[in-house]
Amino acid sequence: MPHLKHDRIPRATISRLAIYVQELEGMEQQGVKVVSSEKLANACGVNPSQIRKDLAYFGEFGVRGVGYYVFELKEAIKQSLGLDKTWNVVLVGVGNLGRALLRHGVLRKRGFIIVGAFDCDPFKIGEEIAGLEVICSSKLPAKTNELYVEIGIITTPPERAQRAANYLLEAGIKGIVNFAPARINAPSNVSVEYVDFIHNLFSVAFNITQNQAKGLI
Amino acid sequence: MPHLKHDRIPRATISRLAIYVQELEGMEQQGVKVVSSEKLANACGVNPSQIRKDLAYFGEFGVRGVGYYVFELKEAIKQSLGLDKTWNVVLVGVGNLGRALLRHGVLRKRGFIIVGAFDCDPFKIGEEIAGLEVICSSKLPAKTNELYVEIGIITTPPERAQRAANYLLEAGIKGIVNFAPARINAPSNVSVEYVDFIHNLFSVAFNITQNQAKGLI
DNA sequence: GTGGCATAGTGAAATTTTTAACAATATCTT
DNA sequence: AAGATATTGTTAAAAATTTCACTATGCCAC
Ligand SMILES: NC(=O)c1ccc[n+]([C@@H]2O[C@H](COP(=O)([O-])OP(=O)(O)OC[C@H]3O[C@@H](n4cnc5c(N)ncnc54)[C@H](O)[C@@H]3O)[C@@H](O)[C@H]2O)c1
Ligand SMILES: NC(=O)c1ccc[n+]([C@@H]2O[C@H](COP(=O)([O-])OP(=O)(O)OC[C@H]3O[C@@H](n4cnc5c(N)ncnc54)[C@H](O)[C@@H]3O)[C@@H](O)[C@H]2O)c1
């Protein structure tokens, strides 16, 4: 755990750090060894000062007059975000989306290992997806105690999201990523993130309407 | 198109309006007719002033001393966001995620109709998914001119995202929702939104690490 | 080694966003 | 119909975030 120079870090900063990691990985693949805040900023579509400020929350990673060493910066950010370890994850709700997530390699690649998949549908229990047997969700608390699980992903229908969350909370989970479009209640020491791309579609629709009104289109 | 009292509206406001709509729909289903900014705020996990301020960008929808009529407010917000019409959408990249989106009803329910699905993989072309035939992506510009399409969804691998975007731009699309973890270049009058839930996982991982450091867990 | 150059780190300013406070006003009660 | 009450719309203050401007410093050429 790196020492933080400030105690509260803006949410937006965390989100941008994720983008920086992405771009740095791309640069690494292309053989780029060193990058300036300006170059990285262009790639990420942000302001160079923003990058320097974001990094300053965690420490000093650059070399004045030179820039940042791509590999080292990437590693430093990952460590700052707590991504220098792997995280065990369970998934609740093996439907369309749940399956896509289970099959998709990106989670594992990023250090999030799905170690359990749960559903309440008897037809799905016992089925094997991506090498993982679907287990009855009522067994979730017991099962997750066996494994060392810290994060839960909810991909049930929205009206079942709270129930799924309750299972996860009972299992002592410390963070939840909820894909169902419903607020869930959880103690304040449990981190809850909501994922809903409909918001992005709304945003695009709104922007198009705006642009049309302004005569830009 | 409602007249805007201010010209620039915070992105965060748009995102929250989407949440308000969600909660209002829930209330509507439960037969709630009237809601105050305080009640709605609780449901959405925001500050009541925030709601009133967000709404003020678009007009006056409430009744002093009473609150907001659930149905009317919902409709007013949807109209403000440009959701009082349906939007034709095409999807590029019919893989795991693309399929999940095609099969998922929520898009249609929200007024976003997928009218075309494109892929470059010969094995996928011709396949039918959710009543839609997968078409060769090189035919995208020609096909989308036939239909009246304004929004494109990209679900290709990241290294193909720009190519997919180019097809869409050539087809005269006005907004893009990109699920691939890669920045894309587009003219400034084309609205581009990025969807990447890995950021949310990063965020949860970071918060857990933080909470542990603070001794909250 | 010294000087010039490039670029990180940083404190201050500007901007944006959120929150609080309150004045305005519909409805309800009597 | 007047007054009490509740809650909006709005203005002002506070907080947070972003951007700017400048200082510090490591590297490279000579
Ligand atoms: N499919 C998508 O592309 C997509 C995109 C964004 C959001 N979502 C959201 O993700 C959620 C899932 O979508 P989907 O398309 O996969 O739906 P789905 O109906 O295919 O899958 C839901 C699964 O959850 C299971 N389930 C229900 N209650 C449960 C419980 N209490 N415990 C455990 N499992 C339970 C069901 O048996 C089912 O397998 C929904 O809330 C949806 O709005 C889906
Ligand atoms: N599966 C998920 O849960 C998930 C979640 C988040 C993000 N993503 C991202 O979404 C994208 C797709 O993920 P996936 O799991 O569906 O991958 P996938 O490999 O299953 O699907 C990609 C599809 O895109 C097609 N394609 C490639 N180049 C194309 C082109 N130029 N034009 C048209 N089609 C093209 C491929 O033929 C393939 O069918 C990736 O960028 C991934 O990182 C996926």
**Residue B4 in this model has a pLDDT that exceeds 70:** no
- The pLDDT of residue B116 is 95
Residue with CA nearest C1' of nucleotide D27: A65
Contact flag, residue B36 CB and nucleic strand C, below 7 A? no
User: Does the beta carbon of B119 lie inside 6 Å of ligand 2?
Assistant: yes
Locate A130 and state its tokens: 């991506």
Within chain B, how many helices (H) and strands (E) appear? 9, 9
**Residue B73 in this model has a pLDDT that exceeds 60:** yes
Work out the minimum CA distance from B126 to partner chain A, whole angstroms: 22
**Residue A107 in this model has a pLDDT that exceeds 80:** yes
Ligand 2 pocket mutation, candidates B135, B143, B156, B176, criterion most atoms within 8 A of CB: B156
Give the pLDDT band (50/70/90) at residue B59: very high
How far apart CA B167 and CA B9 sit, in angstroms, is 30
Give the pLDDT band (50/70/90) at residue B114: very high
- Chain C footprint bases within 7 A of protein beta carbons: 4-11, 16-21, 24-27
Looking at beta carbons, which residues of chain B come within 8 Å of A181? 22, 106
Q: Tens digit of pLDDT for each residue in A113-141? A: 999 999 999 999 999 999 999 999 999 99
How far apart CA A48 and CA B19 sit, in angstroms, is 32
- The pLDDT of residue B17 is 96
Taking an 8 Å cut-off on Cβ atoms, the answer to whether A209 and B82 are in contact is: yes
- The pLDDT of residue A216 is 66
**Residue B8 in this model has a pLDDT that exceeds 90:** no
**Residue B79 in this model has a pLDDT that exceeds 80:** yes
Locate B50 and state its tokens: 């925030």
Longest dimension (CA), chain B: 63
User: Does the beta carbon of B91 lie inside 6 Å of ligand 2?
Assistant: no
Work out the minimum CA distance from B139 to partner chain A, whole angstroms: 24
For ligand 1, atom 20, name the residue with the nearest CA: A95
Pairing mode of beta strands A34-35, A128-129? unpaired
In this structure, the dihedral spanned by the alpha carbons of residues B171, B173, B176 and B178, taken in order and rounded to 10 degrees, is -10
Looking at beta carbons, which residues of chain B come within 8 Å of A211? 174, 189, 191
Pinpoint the alpha helices (H) of B82-197: 96-103, 106-109, 140-146, 161-170
- The pLDDT of residue B146 is 83
Query: Residue A178: which residues within 8 A CB-CB, separation 6 or more?
Result: A153, A154, A161, A165, A184, A192, A193, A194, A195
Q: Which residues of B105-129 are buried (b: 16+ CB within 10 A; e: fewer)?
A: eebeebbbebbbbbbbeeebbeeeb
Q: Assess contact for B182 and B194: CB atoms under 8 A.
A: no
- The pLDDT of residue B11 is 87
| pLDDT mean over B148-175 | 95
Q: Assess contact for B23 and B37: CB atoms under 8 A.
A: no
CA A78 to C1' D23, whole Å: 29
| pLDDT mean over A64-89 | 95
Give the pLDDT band (50/70/90) at residue A217: low
How far apart CA A74 and CA A72 sit, in angstroms, is 5
Give the pLDDT band (50/70/90) at residue A4: low
- The pLDDT of residue B5 is 52
Question: Closest-lying ligand to the alpha carbon of A129?
Answer: 1
Contact flag, residue B63 CB and nucleic strand C, below 7 A? yes
How far apart CA B90 and CA B173 sit, in angstroms, is 9
**Residue B28 in this model has a pLDDT that exceeds 90:** yes
Residue of B nearest to A194 (CA): B200
What domains appear along chain B, each with residue ranges and CATH number? 11-80 (1.10.10.10), 87-198 (3.40.50.720)
Q: Tens digit of pLDDT for each residue in A16-74? A: 999 999 999 999 999 999 999 999 999 999 999 999 999 999 999 999 999 999 999 99
Give the pLDDT band (50/70/90) at residue A146: confident
Please tell me the pTM assigned to this model.
0.91
Work out the number of other CB atoms within 10 angstroms of the CB of residue A50: 15
- The pLDDT of residue B1 is 40
Characterise A168 by phi-psi region: left (phi > 0), alpha (psi -120 to 50), beta (else).
Answer: alpha
